[in-house]
Amino acid sequence: MTIAVFPGSFDPLTNGHLDLIARASRMFDQLVVAVGQNTSKRGVFTASERVAFIEAEIKNLPNVTVQVETGLTVAFMKSIHATVLVRGLRNSTDFEFEQGIAGMNRTLDAHIDTVCLMAAPKYQFVSSSLLKEVAQFGGDLTQLVPPAVAKGLRERLERE
């Protein structure tokens, strides 16, 4: 059985993330969405809120689970016997970034393979910083994030 991990901060969860989750779920026996913290960014949602958003959207994917990850992804993967790391690519900048991470992960654990999936064209421009800015100024995010995430973003950013 092949267990794959799709790690990310998912802050906020986007329809692009959900597209990648659905596609990866068809490729592997089990997919674990690993919710982590991006240490270089200030988060909007707590880890438990992000897990709840994802779980609400993946109910129809029986081979997908969500877990909070802290620390090194390769250590998390080893703890659940996962051998494949799934990453999404929007552009060549993402590729160069992910190439370095894949090399480091492979150095840390030679049993880890990284599989990169190209983002669907309609989501290739989406980034968390863009979404937060649009939400802050009341823009419509309905095509880019699940409804609960759009509502949560608006409410959270209005309070700040």
Given the DSSP bridges, would you call strands 64-68 and 84-89 parallel, antiparallel or unpaired?
Answer: unpaired
Going by C-alpha positions, the residue among 58, 54, 71, 130 that lies closest to residue 46 is 54
Is residue 17 part of the annotated active site? The answer reads yes
Provide φ and ψ at 54, rounded to 5°.
Answer: -65, -50
106 is catalytic: no
Tens digit of each residue's pLDDT (9 = 90 or more) over 105-128: 999 999 999 999 999 999 999 998
Active-site residue identified among 25, 50, 128, 132: 128
Task: Identify which has the larger pLDDT, 159 or 60.
Answer: 60
**In this structure, what DSSP letter does residue 57 have?**
H
- Domains of the chain, CATH where assigned: 3-121 (3.40.50.620)
**Rounded distance, CA 65 to CA 43, Å?**
22
Residue 108: how many CB atoms within 10 A of its CB? 14
Q: Residue 31: exposed, middle, or buried by beta-carbon count in 10 A (0-12, 13-18, 19+)?
A: buried
If you average pLDDT over residues 46-62, what whole number do you get?
96
Give me the mean pLDDT over the 55-73 stretch: 96
Report the candidate in 74, 2, 8, 96 with the shortest Cα–Cα distance to residue 47: 8
Q: What is the pLDDT of residues 3-52, one digit of tens each?
A: 999 999 999 999 999 999 999 999 999 999 999 976 666 789 999 999 99
DSSP string, 70-133: -S-HHHHHHHTT--EEEEEE-SHHHHHHHHHHHHHHHHH-TT-EEEEEEPPGGGTT--HHHHHH
Annotated binding site for ATP: 9-10, 17, 88-90, 98, 123-129
Give buried/exposed letters for 75-94 (b at 16+ CB in 10 A, else e). ebbeeeebbbbbbbbbeeeb
Report the share of the chain in percent with pLDDT over 70. Answer: 97
**Start-to-end C-alpha separation, the chain:** 45
The fraction of the chain above a pLDDT of 90, given in percent, is 84
**In whole numbers, what is the pLDDT of the chain averaged over residues?**
93
Whether 41 is a known active-site residue: answer: yes
Q: Reply yes or no on whether the pLDDT at 160 is more than 70.
A: no
Rounded mean pLDDT, 145-156: 93
